[in-house]
Amino acid sequence: MGGEGTRLRPLTCNITKAMVPILNMPFLEYLIRYLKEHSIRDIILAMSYLPDRIQGCFGDGAELGVHLTYLIEEQPLGTAGAVKNAESFLDEPFFVLNGDILTGIDLTAMMSLHQETKPKASIALTPVDNPTIYGVVETDARGMVKRFVEKPSWEQVTTNMINAGIYILEPEVLGYIPPSTPSTFERHLFPQLLRMGEPVLSYPSDTYWIDIGTPEKYLKVHHDLLLGKAPSLSHYWGNINGGVQIGSNSTIHPSAEIKGPVLIAEGCVIAKGAEVKGPAVLGARCEVAEGAFIEGAVQWHDSKVGKKAILRNCVVASHSYIQEGSQVLDNCVLGDNVVVGRNNKLAQGIKIWPDKRIAAGTISF
């Protein structure tokens, strides 16, 4: 995991990106379970933002059957610099994963190919519809990397395969990374290896892959998982398969209507005449008042929705309160402890930072 980015703000003001919930599970827990499934049990977490919360949650990793080592950066060192910081722990080929990628890429098969081919580095690749917003990776007929092209124009596009944010490195390549200096794999180490003629292998995969680093993608991954569009990942959360899952001690009024796929955590209250329509997620102890309507939304724990309020295709963080008659619509994002006063209308991707209060009234964006 590299330094904490800003793309998920305002959701990550009070919580590190690694701890944002995916179907009510911390994202980092998914990563740990993913690695363990591929027999990777010694895991190093390189962190620079709110590390105490991660350590407090996962400890040494024993409860999940792994061993966690924490390396705290005094200042962000970039993706490569963070791994250089762990050099003393690394004496055999090892995986590096970006801290904002959710995927089912087969790590076991990737390592087998790496050991068979014996390159200095292997890079997982994934296809995308629009490669111009990424850096593409050109390969030869043998699958060896030839060139990296950052954000090419459509005229420059020769492939739709991009860096998937998963690497295998031989320990000796860390010698090419300067110590205590910000450095990245994409712009520094990998181009340097190619310039020196060192072999870099690609591992293309068309399994599910998404970068959750923006609110829009964060919402999309919830919809994809609930709708069964990521079959390689469903077992990490249990297969909802279009249905409704309700946690313990939750109260659903008999007249409330729940249409799956919906995931409702423990201790939630859904009042008379309320409707929750999937794909939607309610975190622990959420409250949905009489006549409220929720569709396609993700709510973190302890959030409240007032009478006849509407949430649609939005993200609402913890301890926020959407009061009576208000609407929070497509791609809006509310940070922690936000209060939306009565009869407001928030639309068009409005983002509200934590601890803000929007006065009552009728405000349309």
Phi-psi region of 61 (alpha: psi -120 to 50; beta: other; left: phi over 0): left
Tell me the whole-structure pTM to 2 decimals: 0.93
Distance of alpha carbon 9 from alpha carbon 224, whole angstroms = 21
Query: What tokens appear for 154 in the block?
Result: 């459509």
pLDDT given for residue 360 in this prediction: 86
Contact between residue 349 and residue 25 where contact means Cβ atoms under 8 Å apart: no
Find the Cα–Cα–Cα–Cα dihedral 55, 58, 59, 60, rounded to 10°. -120
- One-letter amino acid of 245: Q
* CATH H-level, domain 17-213: superfamily: Spore Coat Polysaccharide Biosynthesis Protein SpsA; Chain A (3.90.550.10)
pLDDT given for residue 3 in this prediction: 40
pLDDT given for residue 363 in this prediction: 60
pLDDT given for residue 2 in this prediction: 42
Q: Are strands 327-328 and 310-312 parallel, antiparallel or unpaired?
A: parallel
Domains 17-213 and 217-358 fall in the same CATH topology: no
H or E segment to which residue 47 belongs: strand 42-47
Helix intervals (H) in the chain? 27-37, 51-58, 78-84, 107-117, 190-195, 215-226
Query: What 3-state DSSP class applies to 18?
Result: helix
Query: What tokens appear for 136 in the block?
Result: 């593409």
Distance of alpha carbon 187 from alpha carbon 229, whole angstroms = 32
Give the largest CA-CA distance in the chain. Answer: 69
Q: Find all residues with CB under 8 Å of 184, minimum gap 6, and list them.
A: 78, 79, 80, 81
Q: What residue segments make up the domains of the chain, in order of their start?
A: 17-213, 217-358
Per-residue pLDDT of the chain (365 residues; tens, 9 = 90+): 444 445 777 888 888 888 999 999 999 999 999 999 999 999 999 987 678 889 999 999 999 999 999 998 888 889 999 999 999 999 999 999 998 899 999 999 999 999 999 999 999 999 999 999 888 999 999 999 999 988 889 998 999 999 999 999 999 999 999 988 899 998 899 999 999 999 999 999 999 999 998 999 999 999 999 999 998 898 898 777 679 999 999 999 999 999 999 999 999 999 999 999 999 999 999 999 999 999 999 999 999 999 999 999 999 999 999 999 999 999 999 999 999 999 999 988 899 999 999 988 756 55
Distance of alpha carbon 153 from alpha carbon 222, whole angstroms = 31
Please give the full DSSP string across 272-304, using - where no structure is assigned.
Answer: TT-EEESSEEE-TT-EE-TT-EEES-EE-TT-E
Cα angle 263, 264, 265; round to 5: 120
Q: Which fold has domain 217-358?
A: UDP N-Acetylglucosamine Acyltransferase; domain 1 (2.160.10)
Three-state SS annotation for 56-102: HHHCCCHHHCCEEEEEECCCCCHHHHHHHCCHHHCCCCEEEECCCEE
At 59, give phi and psi (nearest 5°). 55, -135
Distance of alpha carbon 171 from alpha carbon 96, whole angstroms = 12
